[in-house]
Amino acid sequence: MPEIPDLEAIRHFLEPRLVGNTLTSTDSRFPWLIRTGSDGLATLAGHQFVTLRRHGKFLLFATDDDRLLIVNPMLTGRFHWAEPTERKRPMTALVLGFEDGHELRYSDARKMGRWYLVPTAELETVPQMAELGPDALEVDEDTFVARLKKHPGQIKPTLTNQKFIAGVGNAYSDEILWEAGLHPHRRRATMDEDDMRRLYRAMRSTIEWAIPILEAEVADRLYQSNEEWRDHLRVHRKADEPCPRCGQPIHSQVRGGSETDYCLHCQPLVL
């Protein structure tokens, strides 16, 4: 599932190409995608996007008539910035055509993504939006620690709880916890103030480290593969490979289809 670094790379690629570029056509091929009614999408034609921002795992395209096109790509939503003559990917669900001749295409193999078109003032009517915690790149350290103290359970599920902090998912939580030296199954109740502040700083530094790496992946062309960019990660999906810090093999667990990877030496479990 795309997390903050993935979506920031997409946002940074698209914003200079979309802002001021008039929409000329919309093609919604699967009604399930548009949660506010596919007919409404056609009303974007003739308008422009004025900003593109992100909150958590949502992309928010602001229009020149005070509306928001909100995209939650979920697990398999993929973007493609293409020439009209390029072959469309399987399961291309939506195509936005622009005045400069390009198309923004969205495909979704598992049909899980959600698109919403709402007036700006009605942002919080979008499902999940009102419940999201502060964005992981916008929350300050003291607020993060204060919110964290309300969650006594295991730290990895807390870090990936979008009501606590928005934008961190399974892959980057492994990276953040490795950077902080915290075992994913450690209970927050066993962590002291220094542990919690170290976790915050690891979250910021890990996300900020990853964003330019992913931006370089799409610098020339946005064509998302079926898998997110993960080769650069240090522990996630690196089972049995040497830990970059100590050289011990990375330990891996899979529960309910979700993989957790960590170093037993660098991230000891404190009970």
Q: How far is CA 206 from CA 66, 127, 176, in A?
A: 34, 28, 6
What is the average per-residue pLDDT within 2-17?
A: 96
Give me the helix-helix angle, 193-217 and 141-148, nearest 10°. 120
The percentage of the chain sitting over the pLDDT mark of 70, rounded to a whole number, equals: 99
Q: What is the tens place of the pLDDT at every residue in 136-172?
A: 999 999 999 999 999 999 999 999 999 999 999 999 9
- C-alpha 15/C-alpha 103 separation (Å) is 14
Highest mean pLDDT among 57-61, 72-76, 252-256: 57-61
Residue where the block lists tokens 């350290």: 141
- C-alpha 44/C-alpha 95 separation (Å) is 12
Residue 12, exposed/middle/buried by CB under 10 A (0-12, 13-18, 19+)? middle
Q: What is the tens place of the pLDDT at every residue in 174-185?
A: 999 999 999 999
37 has a pLDDT exceeding 70: no
Task: Note the pLDDT of residue 265.
Answer: 97
More confident residue, 30 or 146: 146
Task: Note the pLDDT of residue 33.
Answer: 85
Q: Provide the pLDDT confidence category of residue 115 given band limits of 50, 70 and 90.
A: very high
DSSP, res 108: E
- C-alpha 103/C-alpha 117 separation (Å) is 19
Domains 4-131 and 141-262 share a fold: no
More confident residue, 14 or 225: 14
271 has a pLDDT exceeding 80: yes
Q: What are phi and psi of 227, to 5 degrees?
A: -115, 140
Q: What type of residue sits at position 35?
A: R
9 φ/ψ sector (left φ>0, alpha ψ -120 to 50, else beta): alpha
Task: Name the token pair of 123.
Answer: 């942002």
Q: What is the CA radius of gyration of the chain?
A: 20
Q: CATH second-level architecture of 141-262?
A: Orthogonal Bundle (1.10)
48 has a pLDDT exceeding 80: yes
- C-alpha 23/C-alpha 1 separation (Å) is 28
Task: Note the pLDDT of residue 161.
Answer: 98
Q: How far is CA 216 from CA 15, 65, 223, in A?
A: 16, 33, 13
190 has a pLDDT exceeding 80: yes
The percentage of the chain sitting over the pLDDT mark of 90, rounded to a whole number, equals: 84
Q: Which residues of 24-33 are buried (b: 16+ CB within 10 A; e: fewer)?
A: eebebeeeeb
36 has a pLDDT exceeding 90: no
The closest alpha carbon to 159, from 185, 121, 127, belongs to 185
- C-alpha 92/C-alpha 82 separation (Å) is 12
Q: What is the tens place of the pLDDT at every residue in 73-92?
A: 998 899 999 999 999 988 89
251 has a pLDDT exceeding 80: yes
The closest alpha carbon to 82, from 14, 8, 3, belongs to 14
- CATH match of 4-131 with 3.90.550.10: no
Q: Provide the pLDDT confidence category of residue 66 given band limits of 50, 70 and 90.
A: very high
Task: Note the pLDDT of residue 38.
Answer: 59
Mean pLDDT of the chain: 94
Instruction: Sketch the domain layout of the chain as residue ranges.
Output: 4-131, 141-262
- C-alpha 169/C-alpha 161 separation (Å) is 8
Helix (H), strand (E) at residue 7: helix 4-18
Q: Provide the pLDDT confidence category of residue 245 given band limits of 50, 70 and 90.
A: very high
